[in-house]
A and B are shown apart, each in its own frame.
Chain A
Amino acid sequence: MENAIQSNTDLKPKKRRSQFGEIWKRFKRNPLAIVGLVLIVLMFLMAALADVIAPGDGVFAGYNLQDWNRIRQFPSAEHWFGTDDIGRDVFSRVVHGSRISLQVGFVVIIIGITVGIPLGAIAGYYKGILDNVIMRFIDILLAVPNILLAIAIAAALGPGITNVMIAVGIGAIPIYARTVRAQVLAVKEQEFVEAARAAGANDFRIIRRHILPNCMAPVIVEASMGMAGAIMAAAGLSFIGLGAQAPTPEWGAMLADGRLRMLAGYWHLTLFPGLMIALIIFALNMMGDGLRDALDPKLRSGGFSKKRFRRIQLAKAAAQNNSGEGQ
Chain B
Amino acid sequence: MHIFILKRLLMMIPVLLGVVFIMFVISQLTPGDPVLAILGEVATPEAVAALREQMGLDQPWLMQFFNYVVGVVQLDFGTSWQSGRPVFTEIFARFPNTMQLAGMGVAFALLMGIPLGIVSAVKQYSIFDTGATFVGLIGVSIPNFWLGMMMIMFFTVTLGWLPPTGFTEPIQWIMPTIAIGTNSAAIIMRMTRSSMLECIRQDYVRTARAKGQIERKVIFRHALKNALIPVTTTAGLSFGFLLGGAVLTETIFAIPGLGAFMVSAFFNRDWPVAIGGVLLIAVSFSFVNLFVDILYAFIDPRIRSQYR
Known: A151-B263, A158-B31. A139 touches B15 (CB 8 A): yes
CB distance B247 to A147 under 8 Å? Answer: yes
Closest to B200 in A: A303
Q: Does A144 contact B (CB under 8 A)?
A: yes
Q: Does B210 contact A (CB under 8 A)?
A: no
In the docked arrangement, what's the CA distance between A147 and B241, Å?
8
Known: A145-B241, A156-B30, A303-B198. A228 touches B141 (CB 8 A): yes
CB distance A285 to B18 under 8 Å? Answer: no
Q: Does A239 contact B (CB under 8 A)?
A: yes
In the docked arrangement, what's the CA distance between A286 and B136, Å?
11
Known: A147-B245, A263-B164. A235 touches B197 (CB 8 A): no
B interface majority secondary structure: helix
Give A90 Cβ to nearest chain B Cβ, in Å: 15
CB distance B244 to A285 under 8 Å? Answer: no
CB distance B23 to A152 under 8 Å? Answer: yes
Q: Which residues of A sit under 8 angstroms from B240, Cβ to Cβ?
A: 145
In the docked arrangement, what's the CA distance between A289 and B136, Å?
12
CB distance B16 to A148 under 8 Å? Answer: no
CB distance B197 to A259 under 8 Å? Answer: no
Interface mask (A141-163 → B, CB under 8 Å = 1, otherwise 0): 10111111001110111100000
Known: A236-B248, A267-B157, A271-B150. A143 touches B194 (CB 8 A): no
Q: Does A118 contact B (CB under 8 A)?
A: no
CB distance A262 to B194 under 8 Å? Answer: no
CB distance B266 to A143 under 8 Å? Answer: no
Seen from chain B, the residues whose Cβ lies within 8 Å of a Cβ on chain A are 14-16, 18-19, 22-23, 26-27, 29-31, 124-125, 137-138, 140-143, 145-146, 149-150, 152-153, 156-157, 164, 190, 193-194, 197-198, 201, 240-241, 243-245, 247-248, 251-252, 262-263, 266-267, 269, 274, 278, 281-282, 285-286
Seen from chain A, the residues whose Cβ lies within 8 Å of a Cβ on chain B are 32, 136-137, 139-141, 143-148, 151-153, 155-158, 228, 232, 235-236, 239-242, 255, 258-259, 262-263, 265, 267, 270-271, 274, 277-279, 281-282, 285-286, 289, 301-304, 306
